[in-house]
Structure 1
């Protein structure tokens, strides 16, 4: 599983001209699910998202976690994070199909909510317009393949 986590001042999702979700200070999370991912990866990535200490403390150091910063989350499904770009036309065979990816995406959302976060979402599989104002900018890539090595 891959998550691109961007610290934002605000972010929103619009579908068919209608704003369906919006957050202020927090994380915009683009989430991609791999063919081989399981519930274990979903739980692991949710835990890592909710524990990232990338908000600044009183000394200007990234040392505060999202809960203590009052952060909100906007989590958007993003199968293109598993694009194969070995040719000019990307392939997406490594991205899980909706029967696998949608329940795992929903599990990540659910796990983040269990940890006490307000979580907004896009609409799985929809053509979405995602807007954000990056803060920093701070953007972190979480890949569960890398978490397994530790």
Structure 2
């Protein structure tokens, strides 16, 4: 068995993201979720529990399938990233899905607060990234 020291950098899958390098992107397990069951916002950590629906009768039965734990600022950053990604591709999404899903997506996309979100994204872009702030130290 090889130790971390013995691993050749060429054996690690990585992607240059500009201000950072993402290692092992394709070695992370992918988990499907039907939705979010619980969000516990706290400082310093926030926990988000995802679920899958295992039975739907009188009462929907859900099974927890993953839990994401992040620091509070990174969780808020993730929320802005998700909203911004949907804001940029909403027209493309609506063309590529069926009519039932299109109506649901339209309703959800209309709930995104465009002005508030845009000001939050602009504020975030003014702050130096974690990678840049570490370089200055």
TM-score of the aligned structures, taking structure 1 as reference length: 0.25
Structure with larger RCO (C-alpha < 8 A, sep 6+): 1
- Answer 1 or 2: which has greater helix percent: 2
Task: Select the structure of larger CA radius of gyration.
Answer: 2
- Answer 1 or 2: which has greater strand percent: 1
